[in-house]
Structure 1
Amino acid sequence: MSIAIPETLRRQLQDKINNKTKPLGALGKLEKLALQVGLIQQTLSPKLIQPHLVVFAASHGIARDGVSAYPTEVTHQMVLNFLQGGAAINVFTRQHGMALQLVDAGVDHDFAPSENLINAKINHGTRSFLREPAMTPEECQTCLQKGAEIVQEIAKTGCNVIGFGEMGIGNTSSASALMSQLLGIPVAECVGRGTGLDEAQFAHKVEVLEQALAFHASASADPLTVLQTFGGFEIAMMCGAFLAAAQQRMILLVDGFIASVAFLCAGQLDASVMEFAVFCHQSDEKGHARLLSALSVEPLLQLNMRLGEGTGCAVAYPLLQSAVAFLNEMASFDSAQVSRQS
């Protein structure tokens, strides 16, 4: 899956960027972004085609152990809101001309058939990982497979840039446990307030997660086993989607904390996915800054957002458009007959 890049292409792209009518490096992160997109597409004139945002939704057994400020039924209620076009991600994808695809990865609700909702339901929510693994090995593998299949279908539209979002009450707990296990960081340093816990609720959340990690202390550290033990159906499906999108040589837009943990899982299964990833923003969720640091990546934006749904991807997408536009359309010193820096 790794990009085999001729060194001559990297030099040509960098020369093209450096020879635009601007001081060297004056467009900052946009220059790095333009270089990355050109390398992914292996061209001096990249294009963004049929951008998609896919939101995976699922219910979490751990939510029944009081780790969220919201009741579990909010998960399916928000999916209905997505289908009605009323959520933040609906607004932002409409604003930026991105196709939005919704996926029932395992919500504890039976939705009426809809052309706007992919039924990839694994089960009616995971089990509580406080007492047992969240999913079976077979369920975890099915999640990875279904995530890949969804991306493969989207690829048939010509899409070459894709972002993933999520909805699932309790999924910050799942993501915090995954991050802790995969990176060897105490869970208290990974966990945040999620949907807005008060002090007592937050202390309870930390206690529950510490108990869960202690209960599974003897479990294998293999990434797939960790994902099966602590993951959500939407997180595992997103992991499979990241892997498949990289195989399709798509640009991967990585959203906030939950999506970044799904990407972490994917990266531990195949490190080359990193070459395709654009980290869109730093979430206000506590563990995200630590996770980005562990991945040695710098996000495009820091807007104190912590909504999920892929909203960070949609808000950052115009920056990707700007990077490609300046690379393709901005005059060079020679074409504009502008004198270079002496």
Structure 2
Amino acid sequence: MRVTLALPRELGPSEVSRWRALQESDPAFDNPFLSPEFTITVGELREVVRVAVLHDGPDIVGFFPFERHPLGIGKPVAAGLTDAQGLVCVKDLEIDARRLIKDCGLAVYEFDHLVSGQPLMNARAERYPSPIIDLRDGYEHYTRFLKDNSGKTYKSTLAKSRKLQREAGPLRHDYAVADLEPLRTLLGWKTDQYRRTGRTDRFAHQWIVELVERLLATRTDSFAGVLDMVYVDDRPVAGHFGVRTRTTLAGWFPAYDTDFAKYSPGLIHHLAMAEQAAASGIEVIDMGRGHKEYKEKLKNGELEVAEGRVARASAGAGAHWMMRVPARKARAMVLANPLLLRTADKALKTYGRIRSVMPR
């Protein structure tokens, strides 16, 4: 096994085609965050992005995209934003994970959404469910599932949609649009949501805004940015921006206008999005790891992702352990305890309310 390192922009057409072929050969890799186009686009904006190309004799058998940070700390591409991470490789590839990160010049590689079946997986990694909307049997089959398992939510969402239209005007859903104006409206809602709930505003980082805009402009059969918006009487009410492969849409940035909150516009939008996605050939909407009420109401299946790290004996790995591992374990303990989770969420929202009245 031989490993060569490259900047994403240095990959040639044959290497990108091989990456895409490996990705499409295994359903475990069918996520746009594992697509070559995603890594290449992030690499245009972040110099820390690298790709390890794995060779077995004359054949390329895998691609490992990562970010290399000081002290040899490795992270997934666009760490903190992505819901699928790992190595895209031939089936049943046997590789020593520590040897791989050494060949990448890393002391440690940390992950929080490692997809299943990875050579990077180890016994200490914590596994978590990642809810999905499974559309492989069609949208009508999905809505039958909702009626049987989330009947109250489904019926109330349809009722609120009718009420919204009676009180505000006709509803329109634009799916897979390329205009920047609705994207900027959506990102504004998302920024307000981050502030309101006490979270860090991701769009305060200009490179993330540029990334989303570039992905919106990317449209191929195998990868594209997908923006969709629900309007009432031509006023935007709710929307979402994500990325897709041929058959999987990754849920990424959903948001809505809080002026319409009483109508549950996020749920109205998600049902509309699922219907249009299914009609366009999408088989799975991956909503991403994390407990959210709307995910619990809408999901009809789950994938599994893992959180952990691969480390070599080194000063960098030791420093990383002290900085990250205790905090990660404390966070996991809070997420696993409903009382602690409610208390933490309440504290964040209180902070968000205070922050929302402060000048930006």
Fold conserved between structures, TM > 0.5: no
TM range (shorter): under 0.3
Structure (1/2) with the larger strand percentage: 2
TM-score computed with the length of structure 1 as normaliser: 0.25
Structure (1 or 2) with the greater helix fraction: 1
